[in-house]
């Protein structure tokens, strides 16, 4: 079993940070190697994540469920899936909460991943380094995304500096619909949101 406990400091208001971490598409955009897939009628969605363990690259696919407590700025994610060869299966549970921290915020996360199958020992052995690397990359991207404009295309919102090109990037992120973490999923998501949910 792999346990994950992380706290990420983000120099942005809690409402903005929550807007990002409660959006599966935005979370996926913060995770290298992750892609958002199809959304299902029950609210769950598919996701994939490619992770490198030493010289071995493993592609995981999963069905993900996300529950949000808007008032409490908290959420819970559960996922179940397997690697591309179906040699290793996993289940994951994670809880996260956004709390105020001075003029900024902190995102506290706790989770567990249970593995069974051929690659279990390889994955568990390299988990510490991989989680550390992914957390560092995720944190940097999260801070960057939260610092950007909230919903550039939102109706009734101020257009702010009209000559600024930055809103174009967040627009593609907001256009992608529904996924999280991680440890966990971006190219196909654009088709999902722009072409409509199946």
| Non-local CB neighbours of 109 within 8 Å, separated by 6+ positions | 4, 5, 6, 7, 8, 94, 95, 96, 181
- Over residues 140-158, mean pLDDT: 71
**pLDDT score of 52:** 84
The pLDDT value given to residue 165 = 41
Contact yes or no for 14/146 (Cβ under 8 A): no
pLDDT band at 161 (very low <50, low <70, confident <90, very high): very low
Q: What is the pLDDT of residues 9-25, one digit of tens each?
A: 999 999 999 999 999 99
Higher pLDDT, 99 or 54: 99
CA–CA distance, 55 with 83 (Å, rounded to integer) = 16
Cβ atoms of 9 and 101 closer than 8 Å: yes
* pLDDT tens-digit series, residues 27-44: 989 988 899 999 998 889
- Average pLDDT in the chain: 78
Which DSSP symbol is given to 62? E
Q: In angstroms, what CA-CA distances link 80 with 29, 153, 168, 195?
A: 20, 34, 34, 26
In this predicted structure, the answer to whether residue 128 has a pLDDT above a threshold of 80 is yes
Contacts of 2 (CB under 8 A, 6+ apart): 112, 113, 114, 115, 123, 124, 127, 131
0.75 cut: is pTM over it?
no
Give residue 72's pLDDT.
96
Strand-pair partners of 88: 117
Hey, CA dihedral for 143, 21, 106, 159, is it positive or negative?
A: positive
Contact 101, 114 (CB under 8 A): no
Q: Please name each of the domains of the chain with its CATH number.
A: 2-148+169-193 (3.30.530.20)
What tokens does 195 get? Answer: 């072409």
Measured CA to CA, the distance from residue 8 to residue 99 in angstroms comes to 10
């Amino acid at each position: 079993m792999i346990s994950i406990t992380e706290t990420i400091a983000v120099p942005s208001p809690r409402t903005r940070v929550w807007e990002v971490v409660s959006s599966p598409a935005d979370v996926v955009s913060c995770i290298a190697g992750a892609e958002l897939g199809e959304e299902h009628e029950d609210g769950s969605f598919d996701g994939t994540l490619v992770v490198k363990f030493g010289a071995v690259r493993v592609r995981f696919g999963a069905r993900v469920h996300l529950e949000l407590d808007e008032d409490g700025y908290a959420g819970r994610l559960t996922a179940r899936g397997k690697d591309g060869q179906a040699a290793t299966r996993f289940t994951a549970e994670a809880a996260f909460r956004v709390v105020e921290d001075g003029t900024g915020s902190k995102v506290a996360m706790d989770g567990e991943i249970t593995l069974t199958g051929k690659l279990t020992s390889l994955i568990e052995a390299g988990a510490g380094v991989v989680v550390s690397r992914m957390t560092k990359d995720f944190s940097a991207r999260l801070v960057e995304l939260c610092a950007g404009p909230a919903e550039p295309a939102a109706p009734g919102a101020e257009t702010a500096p009209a000559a600024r090109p930055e809103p174009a990037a967040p627009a593609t992120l907001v256009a992608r619909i529904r996924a999280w973490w991680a440890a966990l999923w971006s190219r196909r998501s654009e088709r999902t949101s722009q072409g409509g949910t199946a």
